[in-house]
Amino acid sequence: MKIQYKAASIMTLFGVVIVILLSGGYDVLSHKLVIEKEMKNIKNLSEEVALHVESHLKEKTKIAMTISSAPLIKDALLKSNSEFAEFAGEKRKQEIDSRNRQWMKTADISDPFIQAHMANPVAEYLKSQQIILPGEYGEIFLTNRFGVMIATTGKLTTLAHSHKYWWLASYGDGQGRIFLDDRGFDTSVGGYVLGVVIPIRDGNEIIGILKCNVNIIGSLTDVVQEFALRHSGRMKIVRTGGLILSEHSIAPLSTQVNDHIVKALWKKETGTTIIAGNNEDQLVAFSPVQITMGSEKFGFGGSKESIDHIKGNKGEGWHIVISLSEEKAIGTAHEATLTIIIVGIIFTLLTAIVASLLGKWAARPIVELATTAQTIGEGRLDTRANLISNDEIGSLAKSLNRMAKNLQDTMTSRDELIHEVEQRKKVEEKLHLLSTTDELTGAYNRRAFNDYLHTNIGRAKRYNEPLSMLLLDVDHFKNINDSHGHDVGDLVLKSLVCVIKESIRQEDTMARWGGEEFTILLPQTGKDAALQQAERLREKIFMHNFPKIDHLTVSIGHTELQDNDTSDSFVKRADDALFQAKEGGKNIVISC
């Protein structure tokens, strides 16, 4: 066998072995790295989603606390407590038992005794909350400090509640804390219900308990669907015992997670594991929703079942569980390994053929060419082959030189192109900023606000969520300009924007509507909460020391999105409310 063929054979065999070893090592290493990366990624996602779910639960709690803070509730509780306090201990128990039996045996809700609890001012107020947030609540009812219900939105099973787990948990021997009652499927709303139980205080004394049965599955479904849009894994909201509360395309409370996962969930910690399957392994990450773990401020739990709900929770918290098949996680790594093998083998075979054809002609020129090629490959693109001949070696040398020059030119053009692209991006970002923000105050301008307004109106109507708007105008601003000059007026507007931004939530949107008018969009905020926020903002602005003028006042108009609203009608109603506030004496909040 000629030497050139021997060299080609050895080179081919050596190249194949090297490619196999490198690709195999790369596959093993990349597999491990990909698994570690994906485990860390889904763990971080589970923690992020757990915080998101916790924020939903806290929002439900805040709404219930707002409902419980109404003065007529406190007045009704004090009156009812005074009535029952006149009975001695055993006589009070007999009286409560007697009324409870009467309530349970009376099926006709038009009965005067039933109507006394369902048609009083407090009951009407609770019903109005159901109307404000349609579909949000099942029953809402109020008990006094003896556990006797004094107002309800519907005919409950019993009148007396002081013996029930949720009442005792919220009352806490007089210490009191918010209790989240994980009720499961509740017939009162035909869906998954979370009871939000609020202790009501008069000073340091608990005078009553308010319970709002909230249809929670809508919020949980939104969280699951949002995750499905941005990640290829599957996310579940799971009780500690393994029962799945919410999963994409799966009915709530109908399935369980793997027993191996359940054991991990009982530790009530964030972690990861790999579950072996018949067809493929699953990477799993889990994180507890901390508010459901219980604390001094919040209690959480339930009962396995009662008369009007099934599959309740007893002694379990909620967890976010994210699973991802190992095949999906490492699919890209396997494709890269296969590409390396194919390219490596092709390159090895081509190299062997070239060595076989050219080895007998000019070993020395080939070595020189190889050296030149290697130098170019190391990045020294100005290197050239100094070979002059009219045969294939000469042509190869010329080709190598042309390739190096073209590559050098290409790299130079690429660097220039990258620089140009980067400069263009900076200009585009600056133009975008100028097109969406007010030049003086840095707040969003009217154009940008209209974009946010259309988006939030669509979301509010799609998910049946409340949406409020505030329109704010500086009182007597012309006097400021006339007395102190426009420079001071500009400073006042800049300072006002800072005060507003510090006072609103991160999800709220504020924009300069024109002149001294500003608008604030409040997603997921009903009338009562919006008016409270507007009043706080008005007071904070009044107390703020502005440059050169010390204090100023603002008038605020509020409106809440209606079902038939367009963006124009929504804005006009806010503008009408602002006009009424200005006409009504200024420095006030008016709602339309």
Question: What is the rounded distance in angstroms from the CA atom of residue 110 to the CA atom of residue 416?
Answer: 83
Tell me what percent of the chain is helix, strand and coil, each rounded to the nearest 5.
55, 20, 25
Q: Over 256-310, what HEC string results?
A: ECCHHHHHHHCCCCCEEEEECCCCCCEEEEEEECHHHHCCCCEEEECCCCCCCEE
List, in order, residues 6 or more apart from 222 with CB less than 8 Å away. Answer: 463
Token pair for residue 480?
């400021």
- Helix (H) or strand (E) run with residue 390 in it: none
Count CB atoms within 10 A of the CB of residue 306: 15
Minimal CA–CA distance to 199: which of 189, 183, 210? 210
Alpha-carbon distance 479 to 475, whole Å? Answer: 9
* 3-state secondary structure labels for all residues of 533-553: HHHHHHHHHHHCCECCCECCC
The Cα–Cα gap between 334 and 350 comes to 24
Nearest to 243 by CA among 175, 187, 192: 192
| SS3 call for 189 | coil
What stretches of 359-391 show up as alpha helix (H) in DSSP? 363-377
Q: How far apart are CA 174 and CA 70, in angstroms?
A: 21
State the DSSP code for 150.
E
Task: Give the burial class of 308: count Cβ atoms within 10 A of its Cβ; 0-12 exposed, 13-18 middle, 19 or more buried.
Answer: middle
Residue with tokens 């349609």: 134
Q: How long is the chain?
A: 592
Residue type, 186: D
426 burial level (CB within 10 Å; 0-12, 13-18, 19+): exposed
**What's the rounded Cα separation, in Å, for the pair 82 and 103?**
21
Q: Are 243 and 256 spatial neighbours (Cβ–Cβ below 8 Å)? A: yes
Q: Which helix (H) or strand (E) holds 218?
A: helix 217-230
**Following DSSP, what letter does each residue of 51-115 receive, concatenated?**
HHHHHHHHHHHHHHHHHHT-HHHHHHHHHHHHHHHTS-HHHHHHHHHHHHHHHHH---TTSHHHH
The rounded Cα 216 to chain-centroid distance in angstroms is 15
CB 215 within 8 A of CB 136: yes
Q: Is 422 a catalytic residue?
A: no
| Catalytic site residue from 38, 139, 247, 516 | 516
Q: Torsion-angle region of residue 155: left (phi > 0), alpha (psi -120 to 50) or beta?
A: beta
Q: Among all residues, which ones are annotated catalytic? A: 516
